[in-house]
């Protein structure tokens, strides 16, 4: 006898997809779930889907946050598109959200030529390692974002964005790799000067704890986390957004002071209030074989 519970109903599949993308889905994604054009049109007619752009829909309602507009913009821009420039800087939290058009970068031969409310930048050099996915959106990395942003933003805004990125440890040595890969980029000289002003000398390294967590995940088959992520007013060392789990070093051992420990517990409580579990790792645990820490992370993911 077939277990009907084995395949979730289509409404649940759509809801799960939309929840990962700030309430927005594309027609292509719906087709991949098995929906025909006729079914999509019917869902629009009865108000289950709301058309935002051609082939891009809000699920259930249109009372969407600003993030949804960015997700929809990337979807409508076409294959290979990534949020970039001032919009990417806002997504990374290194500048306030700008008004006006959403900035998108596409490979030089891809994407639509024009679209209302979008500013499309065409790049002959947009390698895969200069784009990433953060909170359900394809976006240029912080390093590439800074290079693009310093080319187009007023100096004082670019200065602030670099300062925030450096102070929050959102970029490392890869920013220099990006500048070397784009030696003729108009923003390169400005970015180099601003990095020097804010304490960078090209020698940044991933923190010991981040390296430990990445190695642990690879050794124990755990999905790799995002690292150095702004979250609820703090920067966390490791974050799995799909599972709403954070891994952080223990304040008294890794961070070294009682004040740091108090701050860490306060941040833990704030995250818990928002449905995010924090797994704390002491230096003693880190010196063991890692099985206990891996089990704690898996347990938090399953809750």
For 42-95, list the strands marked E by DSSP. 49-53, 56-59, 82-83
pLDDT of amino acid 20:
82
Taking the mean position of all CA atoms in its chain, how far away is CA 143? 13
| Average confidence (pLDDT) over 82-105 | 90
List all residues 6 or more positions away from 298 whose beta carbon is below 8 Å from its beta carbon.
222
Which residue, of 64, 90, 112, is where some domain finishes?
64
Domain membership flag for residue 298:
yes
| Shared-domain flag, residues 107 and 11 | no
Least confident of 107-116, 143-152, 181-190, 245-254: 107-116
pLDDT of amino acid 110:
56
- Rounded CA-CA distance 71/242 in Å is 17
- Does 218 have pLDDT greater than 60? yes
| Shared-domain flag, residues 45 and 93 | no
| Shared-domain flag, residues 44 and 96 | no
- Does 10 have pLDDT greater than 50? yes
Domain membership flag for residue 190:
yes
pLDDT of amino acid 232:
87
| Shared-domain flag, residues 190 and 216 | no
| Shared-domain flag, residues 57 and 174 | no
pLDDT of amino acid 114:
64
| Shared-domain flag, residues 232 and 280 | yes
In sign, the C-alpha dihedral spanning 82, 26, 60, 20 is: negative
- Does 1 have pLDDT greater than 60? no
Q: Does residue 65 contact residue 56 with C-beta atoms inside 8 Å?
A: no
Which residue, of 176, 197, 218, is where some domain finishes?
197
Enter the pTM of the model. 0.60
| Shared-domain flag, residues 252 and 152 | no
Q: How many domains does the chain contain in total?
A: 3
- Does 113 have pLDDT greater than 80? no
How many CB atoms neighbour CB 213 within 10 A?
Answer: 26
Residues of the domain holding 30: 7-64
- Does 103 have pLDDT greater than 70? yes
- CATH number reported for the structural domain that contains residue 221 in this entry: 3.40.960.10
pLDDT band at 200 (very low <50, low <70, confident <90, very high): low
Domain membership flag for residue 203:
no
Higher-pLDDT residue of 210 and 189 is 189
Which residue, of 30, 48, 64, is where some domain finishes?
64
Instruction: Identify the CA nearest to 115 among candidates 149, 154, 69.
Output: 69
- Does 225 have pLDDT greater than 50? yes
| Shared-domain flag, residues 46 and 121 | no
Domain membership flag for residue 202:
no
pLDDT band at 182 (very low <50, low <70, confident <90, very high): very high
For 245-303, the pLDDT digits (tens) are: 999 887 544 444 566 677 788 889 999 999 999 999 876 777 677 889 999 999 999 98
Q: Does residue 158 contact residue 198 with C-beta atoms inside 8 Å?
A: no
| Average confidence (pLDDT) over 87-114 | 81
| Shared-domain flag, residues 40 and 141 | no
- Does 78 have pLDDT greater than 90? no
- Rounded CA-CA distance 285/303 in Å is 22
- Does 6 have pLDDT greater than 60? no
């Amino acid at each position: 006898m077939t277990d009907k519970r084995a395949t979730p109903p289509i409404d649940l599949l759509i809801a799960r997809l939309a929840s990962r993308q700030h309430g927005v889905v594309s027609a292509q994604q719906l087709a991949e779930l098995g929906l025909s054009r006729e079914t999509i049109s019917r869902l629009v007619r009865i108000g289950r889907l709301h058309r935002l752009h051609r082939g891009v829909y809000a699920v259930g309602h249109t009372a969407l946050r600003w993030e949804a507009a960015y997700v929809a913009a990337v979807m409508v821009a076409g294959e290979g598109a990534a949020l970039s420039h001032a919009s990417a800087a806002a997504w990374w939290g290194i500048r306030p959200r700008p008004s006006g058009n959403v900035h998108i970068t596409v490979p030089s031969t891809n994407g639509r030529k024009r679209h209302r409310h979008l500013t499309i930048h065409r790049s002959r050099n947009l390698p895969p390692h200069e784009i990433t996915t953060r909170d359900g959106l394809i976006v240029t990395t912080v390093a590439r974002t800074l290079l693009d942003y310093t080319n187009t933003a007023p100096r004082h805004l670019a200065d602030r964005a670099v300062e925030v990125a450096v102070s929050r440890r959102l970029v490392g040595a890869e920013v220099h790799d990006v500048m070397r890969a784009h030696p003729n980029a108009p923003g390169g000289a400005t970015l180099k000067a601003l990095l020097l002003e804010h304490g960078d000398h090209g020698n940044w390294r991933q923190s010991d704890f981040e390296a430990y967590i990445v190695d642990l995940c690879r050794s124990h088959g755990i999905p790799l986390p995002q690292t150095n992520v702004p979250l609820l007013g703090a920067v966390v060392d490791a974050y799995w957004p799909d599972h709403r789990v954070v891994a952080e070093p223990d304040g008294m051992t890794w961070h070294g002071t009682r004040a740091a420990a108090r701050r860490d517990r306060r941040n833990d409580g704030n995250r818990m209030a928002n449905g995010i579990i924090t797994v704390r790792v002491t230096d003693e645990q880190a010196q063991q074989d890692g099985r206990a820490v891996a089990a704690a992370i898996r347990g938090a993911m399953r809750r």
